Structure 1
Amino acid sequence: VVEAMGEGVTGFEPGDAVVLSYYSCRVCGTCERGHPAYCERGYAGNFSGARPDGSFPMRWRGAPIRSGFFHQSSFATHVLAHQHNAVKVDRKAPLELLAPLGCGFQTGAGAVLEAFKLQAGQQLAVFGVGAVGLAAVMAARVAGAASILAVDLDAGRLELARELGATDTYLAAEPELTKTMLKRTRGGVDFALECVGIPQVLRQAFEVTRPLGTCGLLGLPSPEASEVTLSMTRLLYGKRLVGIIEGDADPKTFIPRMVALHAEGRFPLEKLSRSYDFEAINDAVHDMEARTVIKPVLRMHGGSTR
């Protein structure tokens, strides 16, 4: 909830409920073309801790704090954020449920609805059904996908994926998985998403993409394992491989869209997140590592959440 605003801030007032997402300058070439996720100043704006003019809003013992993470300050009661990071939502909205919309859920759902623009009757395969992958599954159901194939190492996650709209689920260790999926889809899916950042999984997602289909990379690879080998011959058949940041979605319009879908009962966020008081942060971390919760949300005391 907005408590105060700096000089020059427009479009907000104290008491507004907001969801925080990524920063974009709104004036560079990619922003003006409607793709703020690829903002030319995005990295500095989201991670340097600096304002657009290069100054720093916070200091410690006289030195600027040169760090930031989407201006979200997830372990603090208050945050200094740029107005471009904030998206206004209904003051009566369930903010604890909406908090994860700004990154992971937007990435998965946006990839399906914005980057792919999946149409009713098309097929989607999702490799990795954590927060990002499950949001993609829900979005594909909203779009009317004919088949939604989910792949993961965890049987429990696959069960949840089926509950959220997946028509077919596969354990990642299943033998001849690629062949099985190609047979099920009669030659491949229209779209595939790699949501874990593992080279061999990206290769598998590419292989189950049909000719003229598109495979999207959402997972963030480790620096030690970030290269992948693909068949140039299969690329010749019109296959496309694209990297997708933040679902190629504009938070200012896409977050309200997800909020509306949730209000309609078509985007059940409550099945993906669980709230914890900040004092129980260790429990939240344990449950996340044990894979018993998709998205733990910390409930802070001392700040305004309503």
Structure 2
Amino acid sequence: MSKPAFRDIVAAVTRSKGAPFTLEPARLRAPVNDEVRVRIVATGMCHTDLIIRDQYYPMPLPAVLGHEGAGVVEAVGPEVRSLSPGDHVVLTYGHCGHCLSCCAGHTSYCTDFFRRNFGGSGEDGQVAITTPDGALLHDHFFAQSSFATYALSRESSAIKVPKAAPLSLLGPLGCGIQTGAGAVIHSLKVTPGSRFLVLGAGAVGISAVLAARLAGAGTIVAVDVVPTRLALACELGATHAIDSREPGWVEAVRDITGGGADFALESTGRPAILAQGVAALGPRGVLGVVGASPQGTQAAFDLNDLMIAGKRIQGICEGDSVPRKFIPELVELHMQGRFAFDRLVTFYPFADINRAAADSEAGLTLKPVLLVDGHA
């Protein structure tokens, strides 16, 4: 059997814990089985890319990260049926498709989720990306590793979108945006007239604000420490904004909501904020948790407050979304002018990937998107 053909690519590689990304020449093998090879037009940068760089989760390095890719299908494996070269796609997380969670439509809770998205290789333990001299680079990050000019994905993780949609903008729908919006719509099921609280007005949090407005929430409270983020949250649907550095902010939330929020979303990954979020809930309120923390992070809260008030804490992964259905829905809502996630995005040339990371960590940029297409 002949070896798969390789394509020369440029990839952003992180080689050690906390090290900057370096753009390097590399090689990507041809798609096999149900894989597709995608020419990356643009890719979002998510908090998860940075915490893997910093080894919050133990993905092996050196690696090619990136998991909010959008691009054009260049080639397909022999088992691909629903995609063809030239199709526009948004890349999203990997799942097995046959475990009990996947079969029940809960693909973000696939029993093999961690290995498929953070394992650093394919199902067979092999990588698809190497250096020009053949050294291995860990990849298959969220079934794509899209910090590169080309990426391999599986048919089930490459979501076809209309060619009329602005492809360079759409990558963040594959993770961060669908997480925030999906948490509101699918996980918490925010209801019309309800009281919604978002803890952290980053890209995920403001996506949740956009979705809460769509869902008809009557009161939407955004909590953050960055004034510009709070101002944008109000422009996009929040009815109130609170700086969590101010003393008594939990009581302020309870006053605004008339006794506490019905629904809340914790997107900061900070245990103290989670505990305060529980305190800010009203009776039978539910707090969804999407913020990523280092493995082993513990949180403390008042057990009696939780029990007596009938409050709930719910873990949420990828917004409980079924990407093949939800991503096209978000694209359509955006094209109708009803889901303005473009207000969160700042574009950067691919070569400025480290500046994008620094701006994101400093709170200067909500959602960096790297313009990859045409990079030499």
Is residue 359 of structure 2 the alignment partner of residue 287 of structure 1? yes
Query: What is the rounded CA distance, in whole Å, between the counterparts of 1:286 and 1:115 in structure 2?
Result: 31
Q: Structure 1 residues 10, 50: closer, same or farther in 2, change over 3 A?
A: farther
1:44-86 CA-partner distances (Å, limit 9, x unpaired): 2122244345554445666765443113323210001111211
Alignment of structure 1 residues 34-45 onto 2, 5 Å: 34-45=105-116
The whole-number CA distance in structure 1 between the counterparts of 2:349 and 2:290 is 30
Partner secondary structure for residue 221 of structure 2 = strand
Alignment of 1:82-101 (within 5 A): 82-101=154-173
Task: Tell me the residue number matched to 1:232.
Answer: 303
Find the partner of 2:93 among 6, 9, 22.
Answer: 22
Cα separation, 2, equivalents of 1:37 and 1:105: 15
Match in the other structure for 1:8? 79
Gapped regions of structure 2 (runs ≥ 5): 1-71
CA distance in 2, matches of 1:65, 1:272: 31
- How far did 1:283 drift? 3.8
Relative distance call for 1:49 and 1:81 in structure 2 (3 A) is: farther
Q: Map of 1:98-113 to 2, 5 A cutoff?
A: 98-113=170-185
Percent identity, aligned pairs only, is 45
Q: Please state how far the C-alpha of 1:292 moved relative to its aligned partner.
A: 2.5
Instruction: Give the letter for the 1:39 counterpart.
Output: C
Three-state SS of the structure 2 residue aligned to 1:81 is strand
Cα shift readout 1:242-268 (whole Å, capped 9, x = no counterpart): 110111111111111111110111111
After superposition, the CA RMSD in angstroms is: 1.8
Cα separation, 2, equivalents of 1:47 and 1:283: 24
The DSSP-based 3-state class of the residue aligned with 2:141 is coil
Shift of 1:198: 0.5
The number of aligned residues is 302
Q: TM-score, normalised by structure 1?
A: 0.93
Once residues 139 and 347 of structure 2 are traced to their aligned partners in structure 1, the CA distance between those partners, rounded to angstroms, is: 26
Task: Report deviation, 1:10.
Answer: 1.9
Q: What is the deviation of 1:175?
A: 1.1
Q: Distance in 1 between matches of 2:357 and 2:292?
A: 20
Asked if 1 retains the 8 angstrom alpha-carbon contact of 2:118 and 2:142, the reply is yes
**1:280-302: CA deviation from partner (whole Å, max 9, x where unpaired):** 33443343244232111111134
TM-score for the superposition, normalised by structure 2:
0.76
Q: Write the letter of the residue equivalent to 2:370.
A: L
* Contact 1:16–1:88 under 8 Å retained in 2: yes
Runs of 4+ in structure 1 deviating by more than 6 angstroms, as ranges, are: none
Which consecutive unaligned segments of at least 5 residues does structure 1 have?
A: none
